[in-house]
Amino acid sequence: MKSLQERVAALRPSLPAALGRSALPFLIAIGLAYLIDAAIGPAIGATWRKILLDVGIAILLAGSLNIVNGYAGQFSLGHAGFMLVGGYTAAWLTFYGGIHWFGVKGTYGGFLGAGQLLFLGSCVLGGLVAAGFGALVGLPSLRLRGDYLAIVTLGFGEILNRLVQITDRQPKRVEDVQGRSLFELANNLGGAESFSQIPGYTTLFFVYVFAFVLLVFAYRLKYSSRGRGLLAVRENEIAAEAMGVDTTRAKVVAFVFSAFWGGVGGALYAHQISTLSPGELSFQKSIDIVLIVVIGGMGSITGVVLGAAILVILPELAREFADYRMIVYALALVVVMILRPQGIMGVRELWDTSPWRRLVQRLRGGQP
């Protein structure tokens, strides 16, 4: 039988086809995000616009956590920690950087103007710093599993939280900021109070560009050798290693990748609510994200999108019962765990389900 690499040359796609398959999903993602921002956003009113923003950010956070918890089966309870790192890093850059370079607090420039480009850069920087911390948390994951790993990641999130709380106060007047360099100001994150007046750059466009790009990445990962390696780690680590999957590397890569997107999600979150306080990005937030993944289906991309939509929209619809939100959450979790312990979608995707297949078949005009 011919070996794999002997076959590869004959199966190389033509360059235009390859380019299309590589780039087209990204173009569609950007187009869709623009459509949501320009057409849907103005039409639905402020309340639903905010809900749509929340859903997008939840997709980013849960979608990225899904790589670690779902694909690789490493139960992490520290995702809010990555959010926190990304959020504070990005807020530091846009708030202080905005004052330094543009001389204003608040947003600056128009669509894709200097201010928004700074914001884009801050999201990426937030993601990168979070990814660095992801490597740090990934390392103990090599020796720990199950409950023990969960405890370590939980502790990691809390440590970051305390570290932010011992930073200095945030100078809020333009002239106080202008006299000092950005690096000096890195310790002025507001401490236990909050980091406020973060410019409100987050729009539906940015949230959904990042969310869709992550979904494209998650899809490509799931249906590739690298992603199957992660799934194999979850299914049976000893067999995965015996089949040539470098499980150590796979787990660290999963943590770093997931942390990057968690950081980006934190950056978008920070520029949406414009006031970051450490208390908000603590253990409870991590649990919220884990819930989306567990209820949606560990390892399922469409499941996570569904879970994010349900867990964000349901509490909004039941505003009157806001006081009972946590009780309803807990009850919903108990019910789902009894009825569908694998989550709504399990590891499957929407396109694996029989109603979807029937629909596709009908659309193609075939027999159902």
Partner 1 sequence: MTAAGTSDAGQTAGTSDAGQIALDAQRLSLAFGGLKAVSDFSLALPAGGLYGLIGPNGAGKTTVFNLLTGVYRPDTGHVELGGERIDGKKPSHIARAGMARTFQNIRLFGELSVIDNIRTAAGVRTRSGLFRTLLRTPLHLAEERAITERSLELLEVLKIAHRREEQAKSLPYGDQRRLEIARALATEPRVLLLDEPVAGMNTQEKREMRGLIQSLRGQFGVAILLIEHDMGLVMEICEHITVIDHGVTIARGAPKAIQDDPAVIEAYLGVPDDAADPVPAPDAAPRTEAPEAAGPSSDGPGEA
Contact positions toward partner 1, by CB under 8 A?
A: 1-9, 11-13, 15, 18, 21-22, 217, 220-221, 223-229, 231-232, 235-236, 238-250, 253, 257, 347
195 DSSP β-pair partners? 276
Please say which residue, 6 or 320, places its beta carbon nearer to partner 1. 6
Query: What is the smallest separation between the CB atom of 351 and partner 1, expressed in angstroms?
Result: 13
Burial 241-273 (b: 16+ CB within 10 A, else e): eeeebebeebbbbbbbbbbbbbbbbbbbbbbbb
Shortest Å distance, C-beta 25 to partner 1: 8
91 vs 250, beta carbon nearer partner 1? 250
Three-class SS of 212-223: HHHHHHHHHHHC
Per the DSSP assignment, residues forming a β-bridge with 276 are 195
Residues in Cβ contact with 326 at an 8 Å cutoff, skipping those fewer than 6 apart: none
- Closest contact distance (angstroms) between CB of 299 and partner 1 is 8
Packing angle of the helix pair 204-222, 114-141 (nearest 10 deg): 40
Query: Which CB atom, from 234 or from 271, has the smaller least distance to partner 1?
Result: 234
Give the residue among 287, 282, 291, 294 at the shortest CA–CA distance from 156: 282
The answer to whether 190 and 196 are in contact (CB under 8 A) is: yes
Query: Shortest Cβ distance from residue 236 to partner 1 (Å)?
Result: 5
Nearer of residues 71 and 201 to partner 1, judged by Cβ? 71
Q: For partner 1, which is the closer residue by CB, 6 or 175?
A: 6
Residue 175 Cβ vs partner 1, minimum distance, rounded to whole Å? 44
SS (H, E, C) 116-162: HHHHHHHHHHHHHHHHHHHHHHHHHHCCCCCHHHHHHHHHHHHHHHH
Q: Tell me whether residue 43 or residue 242 sits nearer to partner 1 (CB atom).
A: 242
Q: How far is the CB of 331 from partner 1 (least distance, A)?
A: 28
Residue 335 to residue 165: CA distance in whole angstroms:
37
